[in-house]
Each structure stands twice: as C-alpha cells, then as structure tokens.
Amino acid sequence: MATVYVSFGSNLGDRASHIRNAIDLTSEFISWQFITPMVETAPYGKVDQPTFLNAVGKGDTGLTPEELLRALLDVEKKLGRTREIRWGPRIIDLDILTYDNLVLHSEVLTVPHPDLHNRDFLLKLLCQFFPEWSHPVLKKNACELLDDLTTRMPTSFKNENLRRVLGALGNPHEKVKTIYVTGSSGKGSVAAMVAALFNNNVGLFLSPFVCTSAEMVMIDGKQADLSSFKQQVLSVAKDLNVELTPFEVLTGAAYLAFEKAKKEWAVVETGIESQHDATNVKKHDISVVTALGMDHFDLFPDYDFYLRELLNSLSGPVISLEPLPGVDADVVVQAKYGIEDSQITLDGTQAYVTGMGTVRTRMLGLHQIWNALLAGEAYRAATGKEPEFSLLSDVVLPARIQVVRKDPLLIVDGGHNAPAFKSLVETINDLGVNPMRIILGLVKGKDHEVALSYLKRLGGQIFYYPPFSDRALTELPGIPTLPNLYEALEEPTPTLVAGSFYLAGPVLRYFNACHLG
C-alpha cells in the first residue's frame, strides 16, 4: 500500500456536493485516513472565474501511480468534468499531490505535483492538518514551503507602507548603522564577508535564500528567530490599515531584530536594485556596489534604466568594484589593487594581492578574491580599522560554485546574469574540469541567450530543467529538457547545475548539502 495525498477542488454548481461525491467515489480505491475541511480559495492561474472550494485528503491505495491517475480521471468524468480551458472553471478537480516519497516524471504523470510548492492554498491545508508531510524533492514540510513562497524575493517597487509601519514602531531602522550591498552579482558573498570581518558581531540580511528562508536574517552569526517581530509588524500594519508584501514584513522584522539585539552595524543586501526596495527605507551609512550587468528583464526595460535605479539607491560613502558612471566612488577596488599568482582548486581559492599578501577563501573563483577586497574596504570605511582577511577563510555560502560531490564531480551554482555566468565559466576553466554535462534552469526575466553564450564555451552538452518556481521558463528552444532531474544527477557523469537559485536549492537539499560549516 502507498500513502497518497490528493487535492479536491470545485468552483461550479454545488461545490461542496461535488467534493463530497468525489470523496465517496474515490473511497472505492483509496482508504482515506483524513480529509481536511473545505476552504474557500481564490482562483489560481486564471483569475477571472468563480472562487473555489478546496480540500486535501490523506489515504492509502494499492494502485500504482498511473492506475491512480486513471481512476481519478474516471471519477472526474463521472461527475461531469470537461477540459476546455487550462486552469478554467471546473465541476471537480482531483490532483495527486504526492505518492509515498516517489519522484516520477513521465509523459502522463509528474509526482510530486509539479506546481504544488507554488500553491499557497494547498500548502496552508497541508501545513495545518498534515505536519508529518514532506515534499519528496524539496525536502521540506508544508509550513517551510509556505514560508519560502512568501519571503524569498520582493514582489513590488514600493516602501512607503513599510516606512509608515516602522515609524509607528519607533523607527528601529534608523537606530542601526547599515552597510548596503547592491549590484548584479556577488552581493550575498560580499555581504557575508563584511559580516565575517566584523567577527559576525553584526546583523546580516541576505536576499534571496537558497535552501531555507531562515538563511536570510542572521544576528551574531546565528539565524534569527523573527516570529515575534513579524507579528509586531503585521499588528501595526493592521492598525494602520496598510498592506505589506511578505518581503516587506520580513525586512521590517529584521530591522526590529537588529535594534532589539542592540547591533551597532547591520549589513543589508538589497532585494531589488532600486531605491524603492524595502531594504531602502533608510539612508544607508555606506554603500557597496558589486559586479554590474543587466538583470531583472521582467522589471527593468533596459540597462540604462536598471543602472539608474541602482545608482539612485546609493547613500553615504560609495565603495565599488569597478568605476560607476556619474558617481565619484570613494574607493574603486579594481583600480586600487592588483592580483597575481592565483590558485583555484575544488577546496577554495587563494591569490597574492599586491601590497597586502595572500588572501584565501573557501569559495571558488578569482571573483571571490575581488569580493573579499570589496568587503575589506567596506569594513575599513565603517570602522577605520584594517581588515583581518584571515577571518574570511571559512566564509562560504550555498550555490556559489559549490562543490557538492567530487567523484563524479557535481558543482552547483545559482548565478543567473552575465557577470555571474562569466565568473562561473572562468572558474570552471581555471579548475580544468571540462568537459562537464551542464543542466541549466532559468526563471522569467533572465536572458537565456546570455546564459547559453557563456555556457557553450565550456564545451559540454547542455540540458534544460525548469527551476522549482512559478516564474520558471518551461523550456528553451533547441535545448533538450531532462525528463528526470534526480535520476540524471545520480548518473556517474561530471555535472554542472547552473542558472537559478530556484534550481540550486532543491538540488542541494536532495544531496543534504545546504549546511556548509
């Protein structure tokens, strides 16, 4: 017998009756353990249609996955279901969410349900009524997936409402000095390195996360519990009758946590490179700009607009990796330093910096040495002290050209724009590990032509697999799509997974490679 989770939905006619009839009919081949109460939900995918009633059931069946699919389709047909418009109105909708811990991708069936992690109405039911449930691929329970869905990235260009809420909370964001890290690539690495140079005696805000949303906010080098601070933010927002996005709630809670911990400094990585991002509810004390290149094609019409938004977000002394148009940066790192005698291995990177000596990092690629120097200048500007680069020797973040397995070699990277792909290709070439099979995944707003132009230089065969996101590109013209990601990763073939944190995170969780201490 297999344990299955099945969803029930209806938005036509007597919705509750349709679901009850479906439960009765499916009881002939599923022994139900528990079925949740029905809940009213907004339509998903196609919004111009009536609201739904939904429920989720847990039961046992002796049917194979394909037999179960056919049986559910037969029930839908008996109840009058017709399929005319994708995501359109329906008398009854029955979906297999999970079947034991099976991961299956065939021409007729994908298990677990390929869009389950994006459907908050199902995750809420699973979180509330089935705490034992876990996603077979993403290796998370429903509550964790629900949190991930609502906090990973900003969803709008605004921060006026958050300013009002924080003002009512006593302006905690103004009571901590901030080092603001922006740019197109390398922001997370630089932010983590700055925090390490403070011996982690700071608040740290990273965006987005790779494996779990708990990565995003750290205090004194430890993950911060934001539950009470989120409740404070939400309560005040309700009192003021203003709406906040989940990312704004997270950002506001982080500033509250930093103030509560009495941190003098916090290092804040931007969500989106814009003055209207939630992280920019204050003027920062120092701004750091990493490598630049066009990003977020779905939000910015062109590079000039993108760059203008980024530069308008800067405040305080500016420390940049490279010269900035129209901005007189206080320090331009690539103009100040020279690097020679670099060594890159699967265990890390080291290089001799002119006038400074050898700098080492566990992260791979010469670009990480430049990131270290950028972090050092930020620390020097904040404290007036010389940075101790030895503190960076153990700094490591997931999915930054991460070696997950050495034999056969598996490298996972989440970079998704031109400077990131450039650094990735240079590092793979420096390692001398070509050719590698490449598994690429991209979300909307990323330039697939740029990605392919760089990755083709590695000479390996390129396959596509859609990232685990509702914004995923489902396919790339001319690039074969893998039928099963995890079967491919178990093959004895040197492999590079690249293009998206939404693809990198699940792969790292599958191999239990999220914790890098």
CA-wise closest residue to 109 among 47, 62, 63: 63
Q: What SS3 state is found at 73?
A: helix
Residues noted as catalytic: 81, 90, 93, 95
Which one-letter DSSP state was computed for residue 283?
-
Q: Which class is domain 402-511?
A: alpha beta
pLDDT for 84 equals 62
Residue 295: phi and psi, rounded to 5, are: -145, 165
Contacts for 5 with CB less than 8 Å, ≥ 6 apart: 56, 57, 58, 96, 97, 98, 126, 130, 133
The whole-number pLDDT of residue 137 equals: 87
* Contact between residue 190 and residue 375 where contact means Cβ atoms under 8 Å apart: yes
Q: Which residues of the chain have pLDDT under 50?
A: none
Residue boundaries of the structural domains of the chain: 2-151, 159-392, 402-511
**Whole-number average pLDDT of the chain:** 91
Query: pLDDT tens across 360-369, in order?
Result: 999 999 999 9
Helices (H), 389-497: 418-431, 448-455, 485-489
pLDDT score for 106 = 83
User: What's the token pair of residue 355?
Assistant: 């006038």
Q: What residues are paired with 111 via a beta bridge?
A: 104
Report pLDDT for 120.
Answer: 82
**In CATH, what class is 2-151?**
alpha beta
DSSP at 426: H
Domain 159-392 matching CATH 3.40.1190.10: the answer reads yes
Q: What is the pLDDT of residue 362?
A: 95
Query: What pLDDT, on a 0 to 100 scale, did the predictor assign at position 46?
Result: 59
- Name the residue among 498, 508, 506 with its Cα closest to residue 439: 498
Q: Each residue of 323-353: pLDDT tens digit?
A: 999 999 999 999 999 998 899 999 999 999 9
The pTM (predicted TM-score) of the whole model is 0.80
